[in-house]
Amino acid sequence: MQRLHRDDLQRDDALGRRLIGASAPDKTGIVHIGLGNFHRAHAAVATAEALAAEPGDWGVVGVAMHSHGVVDPMREQGGAYSVLQLTPRGEDVGIVDVHRAFYVAADEPEAVVAQIAAPEHKIVTLTVSEQGYHKDEMTGGLDTAHPDVAADIAGSGPSTPVGLLARGLQKRFADGGAPLTILCCDNMQAGGALVHRLVTEFLQAVDAEPAVLEWMAHSVTFPNSMVDRIVPGTTDKTRADVERIAGYHDDVPVPTEEFTMWVIEDNFAAGRPAWEKARGVIFSTEVEKYELVKLRILNACHSLISYLGVLDGRGTVPDARTQQFIEDCVRNLIGDEMLPSIDLPEGFDPENYVAQLFDRWTNFALGDRTARICSHGIVRLNQRVIIPGTRLLAQGIMPQQIALLFASWLCCTCPPPGFAPDALVEEIVEPRQPELRAVSEAALAAAGPDADPVAVHVDALLHGGFFASELTDYDVFNQRVTELVQLIVSSGVRAAAQDALSKRLSSI
Ligand code: CS2
């Protein structure tokens, strides 16, 4: 079967008709760090659509941090790849053709630094996922004790996104100081402000000249943005679906849903594509409110659905979400614990948003894996639930569903002694699992003979420095998580969920 290649887009009528938006010109104006599926189904699509509405020099330089898995096939395909939209109403394949150059940062960090510094590049976009920023969850600043960050500060690499950005900015300043926008497109609260802080702390740690920081203050902007599109990983089925529907082979197609949304603060130092012409893009001064809606409703509920789902033996989000007990828990989480913590954007209709979310989570055609959402839980839970949980506790109310979320995270990620969760947990990626285990083992070894091992285990993990202490400083919260873990161990996840539901909004 013919393999997708950008050269054929002009020659082959059928292929040409599948193009999403317009092809980018050879001239690049954007450097994207984190060339994974999310970017390719989200910002890259918006860029292609913007280019169709308003041409400009906005080709994208795609940078993968470590892997050749996407870069090599995309190079072989001339930069083109397919977006496979899967919805309960049907399926569709479109081709995106905006990436004009590729790098793997781990192989050639200096070349990536030079791309960030090059004055023709006006925007650096980032999708390196929450853990990619090396934020210290305790201080909120740069985790300078992380070995990769420490090595970058000492002058190697750079091998971290923040190191690449900071070195790129130093070089850009030295090369004339053309203005630049750094646009965080990850699920982070005030991601732009956070990247600004982390890059600044890196520059301070390497004793950068004060003039670099002064230049940054007036010539480099860090807009916040809220990003939303559910994008699972690519599988053989994705490739087979593209072959069946579109009649060509693509090594690296991206599966996704129909919905897409991108809310951006319009604070660009050196111009931007006409992204407002793309589907689902809004420029707004209320980005932080949209971020909170997204993180606390979509993402937090996604986590609860997925941990409860895995414990109930459900491999996909739609299979989990359609279990009545999970739907009940999610509705309580939204109504009792999340929505009251958010100052909603103007004109925002929460009922409609929630109804739409339940539809999106019921997308059996997309079949998003619960394990994808359960992965990297420490960083994600810190972003999603600490403030809403602390807010209720301060009012004397137990956030039952947030406690259930922690209990189910714990049973999936670092199961207590004597508990064997469903084999689906093998799919979950938690890079800090060895630390979690070590903390628990040390506490169990130090505990007296009469101590309850489950309680010791839970207490050790909640106080092990993994979660922002505002929440875990509440002993009542930790006790409630312990009770729920004990229920999961003794009677299963459904019993624990019923207990949390029955104690809804109870006083502490
Ligand atoms: C998910 C997100 O990572 C997660 O836990 O909730 O990847 C989610 O699919 C996207 O944020 C949707 O926009």
Q: Any alpha helices (H) in 103-250, and if so which ranges?
A: 109-117, 147-153, 161-174, 191-205, 210-219, 236-246
- Which atom of ligand 1 is closest in space to residue 298's alpha carbon? 6
CA of 383 to the centre of ligand 1 (A): 12
Q: Is 384 in the pocket of ligand 1 (CB under 6 A)?
A: no
Sheet holding 81-87, edge to edge: 90-96, 81-87, 254-256
Q: Is 296 in the pocket of ligand 1 (CB under 6 A)?
A: no
* 112/176 Cα distance (integer angstroms): 18
Where residue 228 falls (left for φ over 0; alpha for ψ -120 to 50; beta otherwise) is beta
Of residues 219, 217, 221, the one with CA closest to residue 183? 221
What is the pLDDT, as a whole number, of residue 138?
80
- At 293-333, the pLDDT tens digits run 999 999 999 999 999 999 999 999 999 999 999 999 999 99
> pLDDT tens, 175-202?
999 999 999 999 999 999 999 999 999 9
Spatial contact of 203 and 213, defined as CB atoms under 8 Å apart = yes
Ligand 1 neighbourhood includes 360 CB (under 6 angstroms):
no
Q: 459 CB under 6 A from ligand 1?
A: no
Give me the percent of the chain exceeding a pLDDT of 70.
Answer: 100
* Ligand 1 pocket mutation pick from 39, 127, 129, 187 by most atoms within 8 angstroms of CB: 187
Question: Measured from the CB, is residue 228 less than 6 Å from ligand 1?
Answer: yes
In this prediction, residue 139 carries a pLDDT of: 87
Q: Work out which ligand 1 atom sits closest to the CA atom of 380.
A: 5
pLDDT value of residue 135: 93
> Does residue 314 line the site of ligand 1, with CB under 6 A?
no
Mean pLDDT of 120-144: 94
| 291 CB near ligand 1 (under 6 Å) | no
pLDDT band for 14, please (50, 70, 90 cuts). confident
Residue 465 Cα to ligand 1 middle (Å): 24
- Statement: residue 493 has pLDDT above 90: yes
Residue 284 alpha carbon to ligand 1 centre in Å: 21
Tell me the average pLDDT across 242-262.
Answer: 97
Closest residue to atom 3 of ligand 1, CA basis: 373
Rounded to an integer, what distance in angstroms lies between the CA atom of residue 455 and that of residue 489?
12
Residue 373 CA, ligand 1 centroid: distance in Å: 7
Q: Which of 298, 307, 370, 408 to mutate to test the pocket of ligand 1 (most atoms within 8 A of CB)?
A: 298
Rounded distance, CA 465 to CA 463, Å?
A: 6
Q: Which of 320-329, 436-445, 462-471, 479-488 has the lowest mean pLDDT?
A: 462-471
Which pLDDT score is estimated for 192? Answer: 97
pLDDT band per the 50, 70, 90 thresholds, residue 137: confident
Ligand 1 near 299 CB (within 6 A): yes
Report whether residue 99 contacts ligand 1, using a CB cutoff of 6 Å: no
Instruction: Supply the pLDDT for residue 364.
Output: 97
Question: For 379-428, what is each residue's pLDDT tens digit?
Answer: 999 989 999 999 999 999 999 999 999 999 999 999 999 999 999 999 99
- Whether ligand 1 lies within 6 angstroms of the CB of 363 is answered as no
pLDDT (average), residues 264-281:
98
In Å, what is the CA distance from 235 to each residue of 38, 241, 316, 426?
A: 15, 10, 14, 18
Q: What is the pLDDT of residue 500?
A: 98
Residue with CA nearest ligand 1 atom 13:
228
Smallest CA separation from ligand 1 atom 5, residue: 373
Q: pTM for this structure?
A: 0.95
- Residue 129 near ligand 1, beta carbon < 6 Å: no
Cα 362 to Cα 90, 218, 309, 323, 358: the distances in Å are 14, 46, 13, 11, 6
Residue 161 has pLDDT above 90, yes or no: yes
Band (pLDDT 50/70/90 cuts) for residue 433 is very high
Does 44 have pLDDT greater than 90? yes
The reply to whether ligand 1 has any atom less than 6 angstroms from the CB of 302 is yes
Mean pLDDT value of segment 111-133? 97
- Interval between CA 463 and ligand 1 midpoint (Å): 27
Distance 266 CA to ligand 1 centre (A): 24
Residue nearest to atom 9 of ligand 1 (CA): 230
- Nearest ligand 1 atom to the CA of 373 is 5
Decide which of 66 and 1 is more confident. 66
